[in-house]
Structure 1
Amino acid sequence: MDRRVISLIAIIAATTPPAYSKEALSGIELHARCVDDARCRFRGDTLNVELELRNAGSESVTLPLEYIRSRGPSVKVKDNASGKLASLHSGMAAAALRDQMQELRAGQSLRIGFPIKPQELTRFALRPMDVTLQFSVNLMPGAHGADAQRVHAQLKVVDAEPAE
Structure 2
Amino acid sequence: MTQLFTTMLIAVVPAVAQNKEPDPMIELHARCVDDAHCRFHEGVTLNIELELRNGGSEPVSLPLEYIRQRGPSVRVHDNHTQRTTSLRTTLAAAALREQLQVLAPGQSIRFSIPVKPQDISRFALRPVDVSLEFSINLTPGLSGEDADMVSSRLRVVGAVSSS
Opposite residue 128 of structure 1, the aligned amino acid is P
Shift of 1:25: 4.8
Corresponding residue SS for 2:27:
strand
SS at match of 1:128: coil
Determine whether 1:156 maps to 2:152.
no
In the other structure, the counterpart of 2:14 is none
Instruction: Report the Cα distance in structure 2 between the residues aligned to 1:25 and 1:33, rounded to whole angstroms.
Output: 25
Matches within 5 A, 1:12-161: 25-44=23-42, 45-161=44-160
Structure 2, unaligned runs of 5 or more: 1-20
Report deviation, 1:24.
7.4
3-state SS, counterpart of residue 50 of structure 2: strand
- Given that 1:24 and 1:59 are in contact with CA atoms closer than 8 Å, whether structure 2 keeps it comes out as no
SS class of match (2:48):
strand
Aligned residues of 1:25 and 1:61 also touching (Cα < 8 A): no
Q: Which amino acid aligns with 2:30?
A: A
Contact 2:24–2:60 under 8 Å retained in 1: no
Q: For 1:161 and 1:145, locate their aligned partners in 2 and report how far apart those are by CA, in whole Å.
A: 40
Shift of 1:163: 1.0
With normalisation by structure 1, the TM-score equals 0.84
Query: What is the CA–CA distance in structure 1 between the aligned matches of 2:157 and 2:85, rounded to whole Å?
Result: 17
The Cα shift of 1:162 comes to: 1.6
- Aligned CA RMSD, in angstroms, stands at 1.1
Q: Is the 8 A contact 2:61 2:101 kept in 1?
A: yes
Which ranges of 4 or more aligned residues in structure 1 deviate by more than 6 Å?
none
Instruction: Please give the TM-score of this superposition, normalised by the length of structure 2.
Output: 0.85
1:99 and 1:78 map into 2 onto residues whose CA distance is 33
Cα distance in 2, alignment partners of residues 71 and 40 from structure 1: 23
Q: Deviations over 1:48-80 (max 9, x none)?
A: 000000000011000000000000000100000
- What amino acid is aligned across from residue 52 of structure 1 in structure 2? E
Q: Report if aligned partners of 1:24, 1:61 keep a CA contact under 8 Å in 2.
A: no
Q: Which residue of 1 aligns with 2:3?
A: none
- Is there any run of 5+ residues in structure 1 with no aligned partner, and where? 1-22
Q: Note the alpha carbon deviations across 1:105-154, whole angstroms, 9 max, x for none.
A: 00000101000000000111001100000110000000011110100100
